[in-house]
Amino acid sequence: MKLITCCSFKGGAGKTTALMALCSALTANEKTVALLEADVNRPLHNWMKNAVENGTWDQRCSVFAAEDLPLLETAYEDAESRGFDYALADTHGGSSELNNTIIASSDFLLVPTMLTPLDIDEALSTYRYIVELLVAENLHAHTAILQQRVPVSRITTSQRAASDTISVLPQFTVPMYDRDAFASMKRRGMLHLTHSGMKSNPAMRMTARNYETAMDEIGKLGAFLAETLEI
């Protein structure tokens, strides 16, 4: 089982959105996914509840509470014993022993950020923290920046400057664009199953096309992660 972690010490950076989208991409590709939730507010549990009610939850995915070390250890052992292909971990804000344990155990670390000066500063701080922790523990894990809520059309001068600031760091070539498909996941459920339901409704044809574009974008991220971890 490979552990992929979304890590940011700032709230609202898009960790949960990235995890939900990536989970949809992996399960759509018939992979099994364990979601390890370290956030005490449990947004992933709420997402699952909404998705089950809407009929848009894929049973190849399960959510595990992991907001303290004993719960994390139990959740990870349970998921591994059940043979999940991937575990996706959502960290909580700030540095802690729990976050350090998750980071040190990860095979791939995503650092999501929006293109604002504050978000970029926090992403750089998180990235530096991860690298220093891995070096101190003599560990290696793939680490990359994931740009979030990037405008579909032209970006502003300020956003361009923010993007240039992190251009020297490893990051994904396809960002997560500012799409309704991503923004509404918490309410609607998994992307691929929401899209499937829309395709059968003629009134939702245009929206379904937008979801298809979003699925293609996040599918490229999922494929890159899978290929990297397999290598």
Q: Residue 208's domain is classified under what CATH number?
A: 3.40.50.300
- Per-residue model confidence as pLDDT tens digits over 42-68: 899 999 999 999 999 999 999 999 999
- Supply the pLDDT for residue 130: 93
Give the confidence band of 203 by pLDDT, cuts at 50, 70, 90. confident
At residue 97, does pLDDT exceed 80? Answer: yes
Domain range for 23: 2-230
Cα–Cα distance between 85 and 70 in angstroms, integer? 22
Total number of domains constituting the chain: 1
What pLDDT score was predicted for residue 173? 83
pLDDT tens for 71-86 read 999 999 999 999 999 9
Find the mean pLDDT for residues 143-167. 89
- pTM, two decimals, is 0.91
Give residue 107's pLDDT band: very low, low, confident or very high (50, 70, 90).
Answer: very high
Q: What's the rounded mean pLDDT across residues 116-128?
A: 90
* pLDDT score, position 226: 87
Q: What's the confidence (pLDDT) of residue 138?
A: 94
Report whether pLDDT(168) > 70: yes
pLDDT of residue 190: 94
Reply yes or no on whether the pLDDT at 35 is more than 90: yes
**Confidence label for 40 from pLDDT (cuts 50, 70 and 90):** confident
Stronger pLDDT, 4 or 90, i.e. the higher one: 4
Q: How confident is the model at residue 231 (pLDDT cuts 50, 70, 90)?
A: low
